[in-house]
Structure 1
Amino acid sequence: MLPRALCTSGSSCSSLRAAAASRSRLRAALAAPVRRLLGLGSGSSTWQCGSERLGVAVAAQQRRPAASALEAVAEADGAPEALRPPPIPRPQLRYPGSHLHLAGQPRPLAADHPHPGIEIFLGPMFAGKSTALLRRVAELEAKGFNVAVVKSSKDDRYCSSSVVTHNGLKRPCFAAPTLRAFREAAGADYASFQVIAVDEAQFFPDLHDFCSHAADHEDKRLVLAGLDGDFQRRRFGQVLDLLPMADSVVKLTAHCKFCKQEHKHVPALFSLRIAADSRQELVGGADTYAPVCRRHYVQLARLRQPDEQAHGSGSGEAA
């Protein structure tokens, strides 16, 4: 019961009663965790002493509502040192102006060389292979690696000295008929290239030997983009020969041109030649090839068979 002298008004009396009830609830809430922390049971002879400390803990909890039960008990007089909570480590900026690194943790050093290996981006025409290649090149250059970009000199659709994507991205590069010729053209700079990115990889006749040697014996990272099949869905160059030794292989897809005309979004897996030319090695763009799904490839390729038989089949491979 509260002293009558304190009840000067109904409002103040109600406030005092509410405060007393709040303290009682807080005391009850802290009782169980304190018993567990002190290793005391409700019938222990030492619980009376612990009860006094509980009262001090309640007061500490009221002063710091966010404090834990362990911290509140540690503030009680006579609390054992073992019960005092360990100090909370505060994060410190070891490198002001950069990323946050906690004190005691060494800042990770930037790798001075990427892991040697082979990455391959495959897919039909207009699947975004060159875009994926240039995106990967930008990522590696942002990490500080020296990258050489190479493309076949046969690919002169947009620019003879740059890799140009269908959506307009452009990057200067080495243009060479073979990768050996690229190495000779690079000269002394070749040793400084940590990454070699090759676009239109299917056109290089020495692709397998060059990439396997560069990755296995020269510690270089190879990033390749190329077609995995020609317009007849047959093996294209030496790209597929590198799959057993590749670190990663990503097959990209385009959108079927003819399904899109039907307002459908169907993945395109194959390149259909729409130009009246039966040579297998034919560089071209949207006027020569169309990305198609399996259904449209089967339907439309059947229509081209009489024309291909009339012109004969070539011995090269498609672009």
Structure 2
Amino acid sequence: MAQLFFQYGAMNSGKTIEILKDAHNYEVQGRKIALLTSALDTRNGVGKIVSRIGLQRDAIPISHEMNLFTYIQELNAQDEAQGDGPIACVFIDEAQFLERHHVIECARIVDELNIPVMTFGLKNDFQNNLFEGTKNLLLFADKIKEIKTICHYCGHKAIMNLRIHNGKPVYEGEQVQIGGDESYHPVCRFHYFHPKAR
């Protein structure tokens, strides 16, 4: 039976590597997938999934108004009509940026179309608040898994994301500011509050 999966981790925990690896594993077995990502992440262009180690794939960008259930239902019907076979799995990167309706649509894909949906994203923002997508995935997902990484400063387990500007920590501002290693560090709780301590 299909399930809705949510895998989360701090920045730099390898979430993108995981989604690309899992998608590849499906494809080498000859199984059709749908690969999607948030349209908000424009670091490498819209509809691009790019890991820090250089792996990348094109993906369908998810916009505010997009209905994921309708999109996958129509894509599946189109593929089956062309003799390509059904979609075996839906993969979604940057899932923290999903809206509540998107998460409910993911649940419908699982429950009504019997297609597993694997989502990957951050748990908390730089102020340690849940993203909308994360909050709803924690509510609706059948299986939740943490992808672990280490603190930028000490090597302990990182559970938070520290926003950096000109080498200094930032604790106020807009929730969404797209960036990579130059803008965020994965940190433990102690170094979130005391980034200068060694």
User: When the two structures are superposed, what TM-score results if normalisation uses the length of structure 2?
Assistant: 0.82
Question: 8 Å contact 2:68–2:106 — kept in the other structure?
Answer: no
Distance 1:183 1:244 in 2: 18
Matches within 5 A, 1:1-319: 115-178=1-64, 180-181=66-67, 188-191=74-77, 192-205=86-99, 206-259=101-154, 265-275=155-165, 278-300=173-195
Decide whether the 8 Å contact of 1:179 with 1:210 is kept in 2: no
Greater length-normalized contact order (CA 8 Å, ≥ 6 residues apart): 2
C-alpha RMSD of the superposition? 2.3
Whether the aligned pair in 2 keeps the contact of 1:122 and 1:250 (CA below 8 Å) is yes
CA distance in 2, matches of 1:299, 1:162: 34
Structure 2 distance, partners of 1:229, 1:153, is 19
Aligned CA distance change for structure 1 residues 182 and 117 (closer, same or farther; 3 Å): closer
Displacement of 1:138: 1.5
CA deviations on 1:150-203 (whole Å, 9 max, x unpaired) are 011110112323211111111111112147356666784243423110000111
Q: 1:186 to 1:251 in 2, by over 3 A?
A: closer
Q: Percent identity?
A: 27
Question: Match of 2:132, SS?
Answer: coil
Cα separation, 2, equivalents of 1:183 and 1:247: 17
Distance 1:171 1:182 in 2: 19
The offset of 1:148, in angstroms, is: 0.6
Q: How many residues align?
A: 182
Q: Which has the higher helix share?
A: 1
SS of residue matched to 2:66: helix
Mapped contact 2:36–2:61 kept (Cα < 8 A): yes
Structure 1 contact 198–223 (Cα < 8 Å) conserved: yes
Please say which of residues 277-286 and 124-133 is displaced more in the overlay.
277-286
